[in-house]
Structure 1
Amino acid sequence: MAPSTPTPTAKPIKILMLHGYTQSGPLFRSKTRALEKNLSKAFKQGIQLSYPTAPIRLFKSDIPNWDDPAGTASFESSNTGAAAEEEDSDSWGWWRRKGSSEPYTYEGIELGFQKVAQILREEGPFDGVIGFSQGGALAGMLASALEERRREAFEKAQSEGGMRFPESLEDDTGFVTDLVHPPLKFAVIYSGFGASTHALYKAFSEPQIRTPMLHFIGSVDTVVEEKRSLRLVDACVDGRKEGRLVYHPGGHFLPSSQRQSVAPLIGFIKKIMEGVPEKKEEESVEDMDVPF
């Protein structure tokens, strides 16, 4: 009797984790330990999360109210001196925002894409991306950029003042220019926001983003205005689809253990990766590691 063929082992779900402004990869991981534990419980094939650190080191002058958490004084009025600017910092950003109001420009955004492209090459392919705050905005841009025919949108927008398609995401083999990574299967955005309304970034949202995307917004978030987050929601084809926009009763943070926030995340990923209806996820959250 011929031996039975072993059942192939399902591959772990690989997710790229993009931290927020002033954070780092290790810090973001420490803040999402509970989320990682809940995802590992929900997906028996395993979860692999990658936490790169953004390439732009930030100084005190880049961070509002560095030495005044209450916001009662501006950084410029503090007596820190030039030497403090040169102190080692473990605060990082994917770009520096320039301008006092919309339309902003993003200084160094090409460096942010270079770092992400490096991780895609070395550790990919990834199934999806999760981003928080500035990392959430970048996650939306990345999902858009990796879609089929998105480069054509950039070429069209360039004639109207748009930026060039991120060169670091291109893979020139000598015969044809392809992308360094296939389109992502999903993206999850926490306290993120749509790209600036400046003409430079028009191609990230026109045409609308087709990659399935789940959005979380804090109902009392005072850092990212709701209208900026909703700009990314409305940049997606299915942004207003039932279950794709979740409000949590908190501020500017990633809710990693609250049942009402974890269940939609797991349901969304299961629907994309396994075809499981999102509404059924409510039945499987009882054994999650939640604080109540």
Structure 2
Amino acid sequence: MASRSPLKILMLHGYTQSGPIFHAKTRALAKHLQKSFPLHEVSLCYPTGPLRLNPADIPGYTPSSETEPQEIEAYGWWRRSSTSEPPEYTGLDDGLSCVADVLRREGPFDGVIGFSQGAALAAMVASLLEQNRMDSFMHFADAKTASEGFELPAGPVPGIPFPSSFNPSSLSHPPFKFVLCYSGFRAPGPRYRAFYERPPIQTPVLHVLGSLDAVVDESRSRALVDACAGNPEKDGKVVWHPGGHFLPSQRAYLDAAVLFIRRYLEGENGGKCKKPDENVEDMDLPF
């Protein structure tokens, strides 16, 4: 019997979560992927962000008792500064470096799935793995260029430098074939334009958004959609579910993820996807 080809997916958790928590919250999706790709050896990798959070970092968190420990199992990929204007992500380099280490040790990965902050990070990482992205960072390094179109009371702000952990001299990893962003968003302001512009993100991205999401504002999610090449909504790459800030586990949305991954796993126009993999019965897709 021929060995099954690997299908490796990087799984990036949301703010206040961890790798194990995200693993538990994506069991339905993981099971559906295993079932839907019988010709592949499906493996999902769940790293934990490097930033351990304090209770004060978590919106709305109140300890259940005065004796509750101040250390909790909650992590992030970066913190959003509450004092910086325009907005700044403190610790972003550490979050990107953590992912780069995983890519180096566990890769190569075919694609990435992220939720909330992890979805925003997934889009950034996909962008960094694309060819010539370093040129975009060089372009927006100029403060006047980066700040064009923004009203900044304190004056122009340069774009961030290309993250050193993704320099091709230290990390050799091919571009992702697909990205799934659940409740994703674009990093705001002029500092991070290079992730999304000149050119827009070329890697295929499926955006799954909740119409009742009260955590990530719709405008921020749409900004990420608009940062992707082509016309994502017209191309069926934006899926809405009638819920809030979570990964939907209903069959229709699991099927949507499978169909998208299958579409790009071997290349959209390559025609290499094998028919026996297409055994997902009664697909009801919300496109």
Mapped partners of 1:251, 1:120: distance in 2: 31
Alignment partner, residue 48 of structure 2: 53
Matches within 5 A, 1:182-201: 182-197=174-189, 199-201=190-192
C-alpha deviation, 1:171, in angstroms: 4.4
3-state SS, counterpart of residue 134 of structure 2: helix
Mapped partners of 2:254, 2:83: distance in 1: 35
Among 246, 255, 266, the alignment partner of 2:239 is 246
3-state SS, counterpart of residue 158 of structure 1: coil
Larger Rg: 1
C-alpha deviation, 1:201, in angstroms: 0.5
Mapped partners of 1:204, 1:51: distance in 2: 23
Alignment partner, residue 154 of structure 2: none
C-alpha deviation, 1:102, in angstroms: 7.1
3-state SS, counterpart of residue 247 of structure 1: strand
Q: Do the aligned residues in 2 keep the contact of 1:18 with 1:135 (CA within 8 Å)?
A: yes
Mapped partners of 2:280, 2:5: distance in 1: 22
Deviation per CA, 1:183-206, whole angstroms, max 9, x where unpaired? 111110000101112x21010111
Among 104, 108, 113, the alignment partner of 1:121 is 104
3-state SS, counterpart of residue 239 of structure 2: strand
C-alpha deviation, 1:211, in angstroms: 0.3
3-state SS, counterpart of residue 202 of structure 1: helix
C-alpha deviation, 1:287, in angstroms: 7.7
Matches within 5 A, 1:1-292: 7=2, 9-44=3-38, 45-67=40-62, 87-99=70-82, 103-160=86-143, 161-172=158-169, 179-197=171-189, 199-206=190-197, 207-238=199-230, 239-255=232-248, 257-274=249-266, 275=268, 284-286=279-281
> What is the TM-score with the length of structure 1 in the denominator?
0.82
> What is the TM-score with the length of structure 2 in the denominator?
0.84
Q: Do the aligned residues in 2 keep the contact of 1:184 with 1:211 (CA within 8 Å)?
A: yes
Specify the code of the residue in structure 1 equivalent to 2:26: T
C-alpha deviation, 1:99, in angstroms: 3.1
Mapped partners of 2:63, 2:219: distance in 1: 27
Runs of 5+ consecutive residues of structure 1 not aligned to the other structure: 1-5, 70-78, 173-177
C-alpha deviation, 1:46, in angstroms: 2.4
Specify the code of the residue in structure 2 equivalent to 1:262: L
Mapped partners of 2:264, 2:16: distance in 1: 31
Specify the code of the residue in structure 1 equivalent to 2:245: H
Q: Do the aligned residues in 1 keep the contact of 2:123 with 2:181 (CA within 8 Å)?
A: yes
C-alpha deviation, 1:169, in angstroms: 1.2
Mapped partners of 2:272, 2:251: distance in 1: 18
Specify the code of the residue in structure 2 equivalent to 1:244: K
Alignment partner, residue 149 of structure 2: none
Specify the code of the residue in structure 1 equivalent to 2:240: Y
C-alpha deviation, 1:261, in angstroms: 0.7
Count of matched residue pairs: 260
Q: Do the aligned residues in 2 keep the contact of 1:259 with 1:285 (CA within 8 Å)?
A: no
CA RMSD of aligned residues (A): 2.6
Mapped partners of 1:242, 1:59: distance in 2: 41
Mapped partners of 1:54, 1:252: distance in 2: 19
Runs of 5+ consecutive residues of structure 2 not aligned to the other structure: 144-157
Specify the code of the residue in structure 1 equivalent to 2:41: G
Q: Do the aligned residues in 2 keep the contact of 1:102 with 1:196 (CA within 8 Å)?
A: no
CA separation of 1:192/1:102 partners in 2, compared to 1, >3 Å: closer, same or farther? farther
C-alpha deviation, 1:101, in angstroms: 9.0
Mapped partners of 1:268, 1:277: distance in 2: 15
C-alpha deviation, 1:251, in angstroms: 0.5
Specify the code of the residue in structure 2 equivalent to 1:25: G
Mapped partners of 1:51, 1:154: distance in 2: 28
